[in-house]
């Protein structure tokens, strides 16, 4: 593989995630319009339905935007630390804050032997990072710095905000589709069709109705896949941005290998919070999703992309076998 | 009103708005460079303040290594004095100080009691993080210079940058001395 620069990786990841997010918004707009037209029979009505759905989504988004981080920290049983209780950790975080020129985030520790970390907060001024005691024990300073750089990069790339927007879109698509399918199949449509005033309206509206039903079934699934793809892109982006801070891909690479091969289960993690962590905390093979359904990219892929930055060849087959299928 | 006149007025308004936006962007990027430079000074001063404590903590244990300790103390004094002598002198003095500290850390490795002493370990961690913060603040300074230089040399800011006096700024380069291996002197003097 050719030598890449982290600048190129960063641009590519940002571009891909914006395209995916734009696609989700397009799916939402299409769904909203077809459903709106199928129900009301007019373009103005279609726009109205779309706007209404968006408004509901926005309200739920606002609530999550302002208090989401406190909720997540409480659910994960994170306890705050300071310079007296965790001096080296605070120093490592402070160094990364200096490199990124962001204010020092609040630092938390989760008492669990499984090594993992997450970051939360709507912008760098309101950020928190949490690290498990397992990670603090198992990684050396250089590797810890790689992980912290990755987490802080999630904050400075506004990933929490980005994921929130995509998440709201996916939620609204699901609700809109669900509402429409119930509305269609449990009555309510026959009355409207006969009262349509457009002379050609019946025919077009019937076609749109069929299209809307098909979209209502497919759109939630498509949107979910896109959301997962966005999550993976932002993980790659955080890796590359982390290297932009540390200028040391080796630390992060070693940390990834160490954490991925650790088989301990993170007790406080569940399907609702798994996307936030540094690596996928769900370790039981049957419970994990893979490929398109994965919140995290495969560890092997992340490691090989980091090796591209230093011009190293991809991991040799023996080492790669140990990491195959892990994320 | 003459439609041509309206078009011309709109174009002029748009041009003025774009010009203001570009100018403000350039000023902001230039100010960020100055801020980043000031941040480096903050880190350097922090190191000056930490060193006397470190020297005191290890002095008792390192009877045979007085030269290394005196080197550090003298280099620190020189760095503090160089603060008022301009950036080149300052950078040279700070790099010399870094060299003496690296020698000191290398020597401490040979003293098991010293390595196990909690005060020494805590101070070593403090100095390590200070050295790192100095490097990272210099790295960030370079990032702001890169951003500014890129902006004044690419379209559209390149059109107004030269006329308005926005000139290229220099990166922070490590001094040639920083590339030499630290000299570990274990003599009995």
Q: CA A51 to CA B160: how far, in whole Å? A: 42
- Per the CB < 8 A criterion, the answer to whether A129 and A141 are in contact is no
Q: CA B170 to CA B37: how far, in whole Å? A: 12
In a domain, B185, yes or no: no
Q: A-chain residues within 8 Å CB-CB of B132?
A: 91, 95
Which residues between 113 and 142 in chain B have a beta carbon less than 8 angstroms from any beta carbon of chain A?
A: 122, 125-126, 128-129, 132-133, 136-137, 139-140
Residues in contact with A118: Cβ distance below 8 Å, sequence separation at least 6, in sequence order:
A72, A76, A129, A130, A151, A273, A276, A277, A278
Identify the residue with better confidence: B35 or A267: B35
What residue numbers bound the domain in which B95 lies? Answer: 3-177
Q: A-chain residues within 8 Å CB-CB of B140?
A: 98-101
- Per the CB < 8 A criterion, the answer to whether A122 and A161 are in contact is yes
Q: How far apart are the first and last CA of chain B?
A: 93
Q: A-chain residues within 8 Å CB-CB of B125?
A: 87-88, 91
Q: Which of the 8 DSSP states describes residue A117?
A: E
Q: Is B43 on the interface with A (CB under 8 A)?
A: yes
Q: How far is B135 from chain A (nearest CA, A)?
A: 8
In a domain, B183, yes or no: no
Q: Is B36 on the interface with A (CB under 8 A)?
A: yes
User: How would residue A241 be classed by pLDDT, with cut points 50, 70 and 90?
Assistant: very high
User: How would residue A199 be classed by pLDDT, with cut points 50, 70 and 90?
Assistant: very low
Task: Please provide residue A277's backbone torsions phi and psi, each rounded to the nearest 5 degrees.
Answer: -80, 165
Q: What is the pLDDT of residue A196?
A: 46
Q: B-chain residues within 8 Å CB-CB of A92?
A: 129
In a domain, B157, yes or no: yes
Name the residue of chain A whose CA is nearest to B42's CA: A98
Percent of chain A residues past pLDDT 90, beyond the cut:
26
Q: Would strands A128-132 and A117-120 be described as parallel, antiparallel, or unpaired?
A: antiparallel
Residues from A contacting B (CB-CB < 8 Å) are 87-88, 91-92, 94-96, 98-101, 141, 245, 247
> Who among A91, A100, A247 is closest to B129 (CB)?
A91
Interface size between A and B, measured as CB pairs under 8 A: 33
From residue A74, alpha-carbon distances to A62, A63, A241, A268 in Å are 19, 16, 28, 10
Q: Is residue A137 annotated as part of the catalytic site, yes or no?
A: no
Q: Which of B128, B133, B147, B150 to mutate to test the interface with A (most CBs of A within 10 A)?
A: B133
The CATH number covering residue B60 comes to 1.20.1440.20
Three-state secondary structure of chain B: CCHHHHHHHHHHHHHHHHHHHHHHHHHHHHHHHHHHHHHHHHHHHHHHHHHHHHHHHHHCCCHHHHHHHHHHHHHHHHHHHHCCCCHHHHHHHHHHHHHHHHHHHHHHCCCHHHHHCHHHHHHHHHHHHHHHHHHHHHHHHHHHHHHHHHHHHCCCCHHHHCCCCCCCCCCCCCCHHHHCCCCCCCCCC
> Is the peptide bond preceding residue B156 cis, with omega within 30 degrees of 0?
yes
In a domain, B61, yes or no: yes
Q: How far is A93 from chain B (nearest CA, A)?
A: 10
What's the full length of chain B, in residues? 189
Identify the residue with better confidence: B149 or A50: B149
Q: CA A66 to CA A286: how far, in whole Å? A: 35
Q: What is the pLDDT of residue A197?
A: 47
Which CATH code, of 3.20.20.70, 3.40.47.10, 3.30.2010.10, 1.10.3720.10, is assigned to A70-159+231-323? Answer: 3.30.2010.10
Instruction: Choose from A170-179, A208-217, A234-243 the range with maximum mean pLDDT.
Output: A234-243
Q: What is the pLDDT of residue A194?
A: 46
Q: Is B85 on the interface with A (CB under 8 A)?
A: no
**Using the beta-carbon criterion (under 8 Å), do A96 and B140 form an inter-chain contact?**
no
pLDDT in tens, A96-153: 999 999 999 999 999 988 888 999 888 889 999 999 999 999 999 999 999 999 999 9
Q: What is the pLDDT of residue A191?
A: 47
pLDDT in tens, A88-98: 999 999 999 99
Q: A-chain residues within 8 Å CB-CB of B147?
A: none
**Using the beta-carbon criterion (under 8 Å), do A101 and B140 form an inter-chain contact?**
yes
Q: What is the pLDDT of residue A308?
A: 87
Average pLDDT of the residues in A47-68: 83
- Per the CB < 8 A criterion, the answer to whether A176 and A53 are in contact is yes
Percent of chain A residues past pLDDT 70, beyond the cut:
90
Tokens of A173: 């698509």
Name the residue of chain A whose CA is nearest to B136's CA: A99
Question: Based on the number of CB atoms within 10 Å of its own CB, is A91 exposed (0-12), middle (13-18) or buried (19 or more)?
Answer: buried
Enumerate residue ranges in chain B where pLDDT < 70: 63-64, 174-189
The yes-or-no verdict on residue A17 having pLDDT over 90 is: no
Q: What is the pLDDT of residue B17?
A: 96
Q: Would strands A78-80 and A106-110 be described as parallel, antiparallel, or unpaired?
A: antiparallel
Q: Which of the 8 DSSP states describes residue A276?
A: G
Q: How far apart are the first and last CA of chain A?
A: 22
Question: Based on the number of CB atoms within 10 Å of its own CB, is A70 exposed (0-12), middle (13-18) or buried (19 or more)?
Answer: exposed
pLDDT in tens, A277-302: 888 777 665 555 566 777 888 888 89
Average pLDDT of the residues in A207-235: 89
Identify the residue with better confidence: A203 or A193: A203
Tokens of B7: 């078009």
The yes-or-no verdict on residue A312 having pLDDT over 90 is: no
User: What totals of helices (H) and strands (E) does chain A contain, helices first?
Assistant: 11, 4
**Using the beta-carbon criterion (under 8 Å), do B129 and A94 form an inter-chain contact?**
yes
Tokens of A46: 């279609």
Cα A165 from chain centroid (whole Å): 10
Q: B-chain residues within 8 Å CB-CB of A241?
A: none
Number of separate domains in chain B: 1
**Using the beta-carbon criterion (under 8 Å), do A101 and B125 form an inter-chain contact?**
no
Q: What is the pLDDT of residue A201?
A: 53
In the predicted model, what is the mean pLDDT of chain A? Answer: 84
Name the residue of chain B whose CA is nearest to A95's CA: B133
- Per the CB < 8 A criterion, the answer to whether A220 and A173 are in contact is yes
Q: What is the pTM of this model?
A: 0.82
Average pLDDT of the residues in A192-206: 58
Domain boundaries, chain A: 10-67+167-222, 70-159+231-323
Angle at CA of residue B164, ends B159 and B168, nearest 5°: 80
Active-site hit among A137, A143, A151, A286: A151
- Per the CB < 8 A criterion, the answer to whether B108 and B120 are in contact is yes
The yes-or-no verdict on residue A315 having pLDDT over 60 is: yes
**Using the beta-carbon criterion (under 8 Å), do A94 and B125 form an inter-chain contact?**
no
In a domain, B184, yes or no: no
Q: What is the pLDDT of residue B174?
A: 67
**Using the beta-carbon criterion (under 8 Å), do A98 and B36 form an inter-chain contact?**
no
Q: How far is A81 from chain B (nearest CA, A)?
A: 17
Name the residue of chain A whose CA is nearest to B40's CA: A98
**Using the beta-carbon criterion (under 8 Å), do A95 and B132 form an inter-chain contact?**
yes
β-bridge mates for residue A290, sequence order: none
Q: How far is A105 from chain B (nearest CA, A)?
A: 16
The yes-or-no verdict on residue A10 having pLDDT over 50 is: yes
Q: B-chain residues within 8 Å CB-CB of A88?
A: 125
């Amino acid at each position: 593989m050719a030598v890449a620069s982290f600048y190129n990786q960063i641009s590519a990841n940002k571009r891909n995630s914006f395209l995916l997010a734009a696609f989700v918004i397009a799916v939402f707009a299409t769904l909203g319009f077809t459903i709106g037209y199928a129900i009301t029979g007019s373009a103005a009505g279609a726009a109205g339905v779309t706007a209404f759905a968006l408004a509901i989504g926005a309200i739920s988004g606002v609530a999550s935007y302002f208090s989401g981080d406190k909720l997540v920290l409480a659910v994960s049983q994170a306890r705050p630390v300071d310079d007296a209780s965790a001096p080296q950790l605070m120093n490592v975080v402070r160094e990364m804050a200096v490199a990124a020129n962001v204010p020092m985030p609040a630092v938390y520790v989760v008492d669990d032997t499984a090594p993992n970390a997450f970051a939360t907060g709507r912008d760098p001024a309101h950020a928190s990072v949490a690290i498990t005691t397992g990670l603090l024990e198992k990684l050396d300073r250089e590797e810890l710095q790689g992980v912290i750089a990755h987490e802080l990069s999630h904050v400075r790339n506004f990933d929490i905000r980005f994921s929130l927007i995509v998440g709201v879109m996916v939620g609204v698509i699901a609700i809109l589709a669900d509402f429409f399918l119930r509305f269609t199949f449990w009555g309510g449509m026959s009355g409207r069709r006969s009262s349509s005033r457009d002379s050609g309206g019946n025919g077009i509206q019937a076609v749109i109705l069929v299209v809307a039903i098909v979209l209502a079934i497919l759109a939630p699934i498509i949107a979910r896949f896109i959301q997962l793809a966005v999550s993976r892109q932002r993980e790659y982006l955080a890796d590359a941005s982390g290297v932009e801070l540390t200028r040391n891909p080796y630390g992060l690479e070693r940390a990834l290998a160490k954490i991925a091969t650790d088989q301990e289960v993170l007790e406080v993690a569940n399907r609702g919070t798994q996307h936030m962590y540094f690596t996928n905390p769900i370790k039981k093979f049957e419970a994990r999703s893979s490929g398109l359904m994965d919140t995290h990219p495969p560890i092997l892929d992340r490691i090989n992309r980091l090796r591209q930055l230093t011009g190293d060849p991809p991991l040799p087959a023996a080492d790669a076998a140990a990491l195959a299928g892990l994320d | 009103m003459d439609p041509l006149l309206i078009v011309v007025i709109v174009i002029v308004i748009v041009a003025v708005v774009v010009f203001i936006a570009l100018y403000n962007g350039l000023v902001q990027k230039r100010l960020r460079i100055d801020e980043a430079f000031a941040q480096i000074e903050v880190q350097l001063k922090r190191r000056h303040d930490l060193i006397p404590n470190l020297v005191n903590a290890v002095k008792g244990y390192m009877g045979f290594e007085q030269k290394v300790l005196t080197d550090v103390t003298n280099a620190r004094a020189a760095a503090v004095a160089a603060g008022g002598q301009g950036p080149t002198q300052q950078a040279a003095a700070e790099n010399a100080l870094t060299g003496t500290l690296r020698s000191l850390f290398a020597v401490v490795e040979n003293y098991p009691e010293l390595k196990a002493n909690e005060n020494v370990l805590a101070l070593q961690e403090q100095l390590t993080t200070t050295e790192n913060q100095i490097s990272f603040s210099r790295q960030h300074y370079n990032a702001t210079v890169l951003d500014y230089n890129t902006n004044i040399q690419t379209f559209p800011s390149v059109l107004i940058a030269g006329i308005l006096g926005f000139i290229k700024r220099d990166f922070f380069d490590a001094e040639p001395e920083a590339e030499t291996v630290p000299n570990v002197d274990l003599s009995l003097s």
